Structure 1
């Protein structure tokens, strides 16, 4: 018997609308959303290179109601690009056609707890999860990808990811290039053997994260674009499992940054000019690039410049300071390190070609004068948190803790609507490496970075604007200002996907707990986790009905 009290209890326990029977859901969601989409994850094969087709996992999309331009197909194996509008009410039906549990996380989006894609909501093979939220984020470049615990790295590597672009009407008032003069580049590195994507090979993959020898853009190799000689808006996203990119133009022209991970920069910050831009896993950046400043017919490339390695493989590889050289004698350690590196693909910091651009031989168009939006007022309050990042015994830790599905510690709580200064300290040590830290359900500002990014990367760190992911180097301390607006249980974790899957991830509770709330939450979530695998088939049947239709979607 489902009563109003039952429904509220289910929602309060974090189960979300998906746990409520279809008739009740229809009553709760009487107002039809502006947009209803369906995303189905399943296996596929695609032609990426001559010869054998490549086995991948893919998201397939459908518009069930509303704007038909809300989904734009990807040219390769990535999922379709979702184009949402600020203020739009959206419902997304996720169908799991895989042979393992999965769930979707809307990376950088400000959504309710039940729509965030926490691993505790993962559905088994044949299952469905229904998301509903109002788009509250400002115009910008976001991502979506799977988030089941222990399987995220593998599922993303094999193709489950996509771009999510938020638009709003006022963008045109800023004189930015229109949609027809935009390019989006989702950059990934992959190991390729006989046209197949090769995931983990050695224990070093769990330590460094999986690094590849081939670069794909938008799920395609050898990316090339033809552009007219005028200003363009470029949306660049690092969708790699672990690789850090040092983005630059092959002809040495500087990059003009107009946006970072969670929207446009402000007028007060202005356009940020950099000789190169550093982008950690799942960070994004928007550029304003005037291809009209180059001669007609020019060909240039977007590359990742070389830089001093920051991963464990570099510590163990060649060079006078390499760990193996110290233990085995100079030269022998280098040979062994290079051998292991060959199994893993190019190490962090090796130069890579990403995409080619050909400027059309046409008359130059100057475009409009671009502006940026006014700054937002900073949140009030100065709650304090401190988290120490560590990697030892081949495992990542956050304040000495590892992931537990429903656990929340006393220093993992943030007040709603008030500013919290969250300090992350990457102490380094024998297993020092960078960690791209991501906080779900919020956007934050970087207040201070101290302690030493590598000298050949410092100029490319763009800490202006709002972000949701920040790259923290060994020995660095980074202070963030964050003010949650959605109550509930969210996550923070390293976005090196192998570190995340290995347990370098924790829960964080946004909002003041009420009497008994924490105990009830822990109990209900633990029960859900204990029963998850044995009831996945039944759960799939219970949740396979679309809102308001009484039919199987």
Structure 2
């Protein structure tokens, strides 16, 4: 028998054309006027002090944005009305980010995928009150990758992300610079955050009636615009794809089934490019692809029905949006194109993390809004880890709901899925993995050298409603001889 969420909680610039945004939740497709040129998130301004520290300034603020053509939507954004600028820094640099909260309620800003000291992580323990400023600083200790930032207030993450608080954080390094890949930001290297939204008749965001996996929308918004197109001027286009939705999975491909090359996942470039014509992303996951384009080309990046459903019944799959199809981005080739070199056969070497002598082996079972049968308690430390130690975590989705799994401060490797080697597209560095209902995933990770007896790191489902309702735990990283001294926090977030 399927148990509902409520039941569980009770117990606990072209000629205008019509663009179909998709068919969601069994209803008619949402039609938006368009298309409009794809907005490119601006690169965040920064300055480097005499000490070599790179400084950024970010402000979370309310505003209004034209997400739907001709309508103004009340939104939240960072340094603007919706979404935020792209932060960019290099491996080995120290960065300092001044984050000011001009919203009417507390928020946080989490650096998703970043190796960062726990007190700088931006999780639920680093709340920024209205009118207050938080200034984290850390040294970039990882390879070139496409990361992102978003709020993480306990019990309120879905609402804050849904209203528009999110942005990219790109890391560069000399090894990636040396590869002959598209790298002209906004020209042949395009960040693309894919989100689903629902709107009222007046154009406001509709936050009512979430499903068991959260707020599912009937309109796709790419980089803050519905019905967008991009005109490519080079024969190969690098796209950094982020599933920025709160609960929806995307099974992505092009309308003409053209092949593309996967060059990177959450934590950086793969050893070799992979030729594919489909890729699936759950909330929070990223993938980098290179797409071939010819002069005068036109194709559509689409989200197709989710084929691999595990133990989800047909009616539940429909409720979760697995049957839906959406147009994501109208991709066009200019009349004349600049030729781009082929993607190199070798990208970034990846050494396997040795598991012999692992400091710990842990097991996590995902069900409803719980991990291992417990909901999040802000004042409970679930376990501790040693700095620079290796651990093996086994994660099993025992539910008939979709879940995924995200760990703060690490990029992990997936060593097997249900006892078999992972597909090549999941064999790179990951910080978030979709867990198909009924399947088991083995993850190996090596923790950073950061320690803190007071501030914990999180692990959780990144379907944001699930996180908000308690599908999360926390751990401390302790140096030898350190004793836990966790800070006191409110017992409950915004859920329940």
- Scaled by the length of structure 2, the TM-score of the pair is 0.82
Structure 1 position 309, deviation (Å):
8.5
| Residue 132 of structure 2 is aligned to residue 158 of structure 1 | no
Matches within 5 A, 1:74-473: 77-179=82-184, 180-202=187-209, 204-205=210-211, 207-266=212-271, 270-291=272-293, 294=294, 296-308=295-307, 315=313, 322=315, 347-363=321-337, 365-367=339-341, 370=344, 371-376=346-351, 378-379=353-354, 381-382=357-358, 383-391=360-368, 396-409=369-382, 412-428=383-399, 432-450=400-418, 462-473=425-436
SS at match of 1:407: coil
- The whole-number CA distance in structure 1 between the counterparts of 2:178 and 2:57 is 32
Shift of the 100–513 alpha-carbon distance from structure 1 to 2, 3 Å rule, reads farther
SS at match of 1:403: coil
Structure 1 position 84, deviation (Å):
1.4
- The whole-number CA distance in structure 1 between the counterparts of 2:179 and 2:223 is 27
| Residue 62 of structure 2 is aligned to residue 43 of structure 1 | yes
Cα RMSD of the aligned pairs, angstroms, is: 2.8
Q: Deviations over 1:522-545 (max 9, x none)?
A: 3xx11x548x99xxxxxxxxxxxx
Q: Deviations over 1:264-299 (max 9, x none)?
A: 112xxx2122230000001000012222xx4x2110
Structure 1 position 375, deviation (Å):
2.3
2:38 aligns to what?
A: none
Structure 1 position 79, deviation (Å):
0.6
- The whole-number CA distance in structure 1 between the counterparts of 2:310 and 2:389 is 36
| Residue 451 of structure 2 is aligned to residue 487 of structure 1 | yes
Shift of the 511–178 alpha-carbon distance from structure 1 to 2, 3 Å rule, reads same
Structure 2 unmatched runs, 5+: 1-48
Structure 1 position 307, deviation (Å):
2.7
Structure 1 position 361, deviation (Å):
2.2
Q: Is the 8 A contact 2:95 2:137 kept in 1?
A: yes
Structure 1 position 427, deviation (Å):
1.3
Q: Deviations over 1:9-64 (max 9, x none)?
A: xxxxxxxxxxxxxxxxxxxxx97452111111111012233444110001117xxx
Tell me which protein shows more strand as a share of its residues.
2
SS at match of 2:217: coil
Structure 1 position 236, deviation (Å):
0.5
2:464 aligns to what?
A: 497
Shift of the 209–40 alpha-carbon distance from structure 1 to 2, 3 Å rule, reads same
Q: Deviations over 1:75-106 (max 9, x none)?
A: x8211111111111111111111111111100
Question: What is the aligned residue count?
Answer: 437
SS at match of 2:125: helix
Shift of the 418–253 alpha-carbon distance from structure 1 to 2, 3 Å rule, reads same
- The whole-number CA distance in structure 2 between the counterparts of 1:444 and 1:349 is 31
- The whole-number CA distance in structure 1 between the counterparts of 2:490 and 2:321 is 37
- The whole-number CA distance in structure 1 between the counterparts of 2:477 and 2:141 is 17
- The whole-number CA distance in structure 1 between the counterparts of 2:243 and 2:385 is 28
Q: Is the 8 A contact 1:154 1:199 kept in 2?
A: no
SS at match of 1:425: strand
- The whole-number CA distance in structure 2 between the counterparts of 1:79 and 1:54 is 16
Structure 1 position 364, deviation (Å):
5.5
Tell me which protein shows more helix as a share of its residues.
1
Structure 1 position 228, deviation (Å):
2.2
Q: Is the 8 A contact 1:158 1:197 kept in 2?
A: no
Structure 1 position 369, deviation (Å):
5.0
- The whole-number CA distance in structure 2 between the counterparts of 1:113 and 1:200 is 31
- The whole-number CA distance in structure 2 between the counterparts of 1:115 and 1:31 is 22
- The whole-number CA distance in structure 2 between the counterparts of 1:308 and 1:258 is 23
Q: Is the 8 A contact 1:448 1:478 kept in 2?
A: yes
- The whole-number CA distance in structure 1 between the counterparts of 2:206 and 2:477 is 35
Q: Is the 8 A contact 2:144 2:170 kept in 1?
A: yes
SS at match of 1:154: helix
Q: Is the 8 A contact 1:416 1:487 kept in 2?
A: yes
Q: Is the 8 A contact 1:384 1:421 kept in 2?
A: yes
- The whole-number CA distance in structure 2 between the counterparts of 1:199 and 1:514 is 51
- Scaled by the length of structure 1, the TM-score of the pair is 0.74
Q: Is the 8 A contact 1:33 1:91 kept in 2?
A: no
- The whole-number CA distance in structure 2 between the counterparts of 1:272 and 1:511 is 39
- The whole-number CA distance in structure 1 between the counterparts of 2:347 and 2:388 is 25
